[in-house]
Each structure stands twice: as structure tokens, then as C-alpha cells.
Amino acid sequence: MELLDKLNWRYATKAMNGQKVPQEKIENIITAISLAPTSSGLQPFKVFVITNQELKEKIKKIAWNQSVVTDCSNLLVFAAWDTYTADRINKQFDLTNTIREFKNEGWENYRQMLLNSYPQKDAETNFNHAAKQAYIAFSLAIVAAAFEEVDSTPIEGFDPAALDEILGLREKGLRSCVMLAIGYRNSEKDWLVKLKKVRKSRADLITEID
Ligand SMILES: Cc1cc2nc3c(=O)[nH]c(=O)nc-3n(C[C@H](O)[C@H](O)[C@H](O)COP(=O)(O)O)c2cc1C
């Protein structure tokens, strides 16, 4: 299957069958997450990969009782930095220098520019910016899952404050923003599986400016 065939095949799965996804496929999805582009390359988020059934049960209760939360194979929780700090920015710039094995004046100036702007902004603005970066990675995870012919359900339908509490995220300087349940569809129980995909027309979505 070509990528577009796979994107047509994927849908926001409403019922899963509990079957485990091979670890190799999970690792490929995780790699896609890590390869996502982010603003200034800061990757200002962490991803929790949950297979613990007891924990999934707890999360389901604060996620509108959506069955995929417990019937998925792996539940991914995307949690963004609660703010940008000098320490967090420096760590990522230092990592770049370590990996590339050189220091570059332009890059160091850019570091200073970020240090002189992000940490001074209010935490909510910074969290919202960080959350946008997490969503880019979340999006790649959806595509990667489809590429692996694995089903997934994007989930925003949960109480973020309650999820932060369950996972102890605020103590880690993180806030949950979105989840992705990964597993295999239960075609018999899924009301959406046979329905046509609904998308705006090209004309409605795209404006070409030549
Ligand atoms: C950020 C985000 C949050 C979503 N939250 C939920 C959710 O909590 N539960 C659910 O069943 N579907 C959820 N969806 C699925 C959307 O409703 C679905 O992607 C959309 O209707 C398009 O359908 P398709 O993905 O099947 O093509 C979410 C999708 C996105 C992108």
C-alpha cells in the first residue's frame, strides 16, 4: 500500500480488540515521534508509553470511558513542558553541540536570542507553544502507525488536570495535552469502521496563490 492508501485506511478507531502490537512496530512509531520537527529543535515534550492495564483502567475513568483506552495495546500520552526555562533550552543546545562536535557562533547567538525571550514569557503562553510541538509529533505518530498498518485513536477527550495527577506530570514540569491509543480495530464492535471518510473538498480546503 502507498502512503495515501494507508492514510485512507486509517480512521479514528472506536473499538479495539486488545491484541498486542509487535514491539518493533511500536519502536518505529516512537522513532517517528522523535524525528518530528519542532520549533528550534527543542522537542519540548515527553511521551509516556503505557501498557499497564491497571493504569489504563484509571485513565479510562477520566477519559469519557472510551473503550480504546483499555482495549488498545499501547496508550501514548503526549505531555508538553509546562514552560520554557533557561536550563531546558541550554540542555538541547548543548546536546546539539555534543552531537555535532563543534560550536557555531550563529547557533550560540540563536541560543542567546531564545534565552532572552522564551523564559521571560508567561508559563501558559510557553505551554501552549510547547503543546503545539507535541501535536506535530503526535501527528507523525498517527502517520507512522498507519504506515505500520496499526490502528490508532487520537484522544483529546479526557480531563488533562486529572491525567496530570494520575501520572504525576506537574512535579516533572509537564502537562498532558493529547493521547494516542495504538492497537487493532475490533471491526464487529466499531460503528465507524464501515462509514465513509468525510473530508472537505479540495476547493474548500486549498487556496492556490500563483
Ligand atoms: C486532536 C484530536 C483529538 C481527538 N479526540 C478524540 C477522542 O477523544 N475520541 C475519539 O473517538 N476521537 C477523537 N478524535 C478523532 C476525530 O474525531 C477524527 O480524527 C475525525 O473525526 C476525522 O475522522 P478520521 O480520523 O476517522 O478520518 C480526535 C482527533 C484529533 C486530531
The DSSP result for the chain, as a single string, is --HHHHHHH--B-S-B--PPPPHHHHHHHHHHHHTS--GGG---EEEEEE--HHHHHHHHHTTTT-THHHHSSEEEEEEEESS--HHHHHHHHHHHHHHHTS--HHHHHHHHHHHTTGGGS-HHHHHHHHHHHHHHHHHHHHHHHHHTT-EEEEE--S-HHHHHHHHTTGGGTEEEEEEEEEE-B-TTT-SSTTSPP----HHHH-----
Q: Residues 117-132: what's their mean pLDDT?
A: 98
pLDDT (tens digit, 9 = 90+) per residue, 126-152?
999 999 999 999 999 999 999 999 999
Candidate from 9, 65, 69, 155 with most ligand 1 atoms within 8 A of CB, to mutate: 155
Check pLDDT > 90 for residue 1: no
For atom 22 of ligand 1, the residue with the nearest CA is 12
| 23-47 pLDDT tens trace | 999 999 999 999 999 999 999 999 9
Residue owning the nearest CA to atom 26 of ligand 1:
11
The protein residue with its alpha carbon nearest to ligand 1, atom 16, reads 12
